Amino acid sequence: MTSNAEHAPEAPRQVDLDKPSSARIYDWYLGGTTNYVVDQIFGEKADRQFPLIKPLAMSNRQWLGRVVRAALDAGIRQFLDLGSGVPTVGNVHEIVREHAPGEEARVVYVDYEPVAVAHSEIILDRQGITKWAGVVRADLRDPEDIFASPVTRKLIDFSKPVCVLMVSVLHFVGGGDDVPGIVARYRRKLAPGSWWAASHITTDDAPAEGAAQISALAESYRNTQNPAWLRDRAEFESWFDGMDLVPPGIVHLTDWRPDAVETLFPKLKAESVRPFYWAGVGQVRE
């Protein structure tokens, strides 16, 4: 599947209300309100094109929560959430606070979409937690800018394990972008024991109708600020080079350590969306 010669777009400099943005559309899928008419119109069309899109987004958000809790259980206390999106529900700092109350933890959110960044800043400020959580507006394709940001330097100690999250974001990085090279630049910065977690939309095991619908939806994203690329399992797996896969390895995200009871979107019937995402966590070697 995939790549074509086109580059993913430059990071937006200011709010673009002419074209829908993946951050705000995703907020709409999750039932949030930080989106504009242009995003809502796109979301409604996406919902008609692929009626599982909302449950798929919710299931991805549940996976993010399971990974953060697993990282905390493994002793990791620092999180770098790349392509963090609009803070809708189940945000990393909230999961940290709930799952490891009283623990010293650090969270840095990174996104290049101005509305996502502005709302993240407001939430952290309102919650009075800027001592341990911060936001960087940056393009994840420029890791060195993110490492050099004063927020990252203040909050993240790269000599200790960090959980780097690239959840539902790499399908917006493609064309001329060197995804394995970008991932390797993060991996090289990380201390042994760090985690790199990624989820990615796919059609590998999808029924023909669903695969056709997702492909049509990916085409529609070409008219947004964030064109999307589909990948197969082999390509996704190759990005974990130099890392050991954390059990259960690379699986459909609904199969990655499912919780008996989900508190986020408890009514979601995740089985229906099972074939449409790959997910995995790699641990940086000694």
Using CB under 6 A, list all residues that contact ligand SAM: 22-23, 26, 60-61, 64, 83-85, 111-113, 116, 139-141, 167-169, 172-173, 226
Q: Which is nearer to ligand SAM, 39 or 111 (CB)?
A: 111
Residue 149 CA to chain centroid, in angstroms? 20
Q: How far is the CB of 156 from ligand SAM (least distance, A)?
A: 17
The SS3 call for residue 207 is coil
Q: How far is the CB of 285 from ligand SAM (least distance, A)?
A: 25
Q: Which is nearer to ligand SAM, 107 or 173 (CB)?
A: 173
Say how far apart CA 56 and CA 79 lie, in whole Å: 24
Q: Across the chain, where does the E strand assignment appear?
A: 78-82, 106-111, 133-137, 163-167, 195-201, 243-245, 251-252, 277-284
**For the chain, percent helix, then strand, then coil, each to nearest 5?**
40, 15, 45
Q: Which is nearer to ligand SAM, 104 or 136 (CB)?
A: 136
Q: How far is the CB of 112 from ligand SAM (least distance, A)?
A: 4
Q: Across 50-91, where does the E strand assignment appear?
A: 78-82
How many C-beta neighbours within 10 Å does residue 254 have? 20
Q: Which is nearer to ligand SAM, 46 or 167 (CB)?
A: 167
Q: How far is the CB of 276 from ligand SAM (least distance, A)?
A: 13
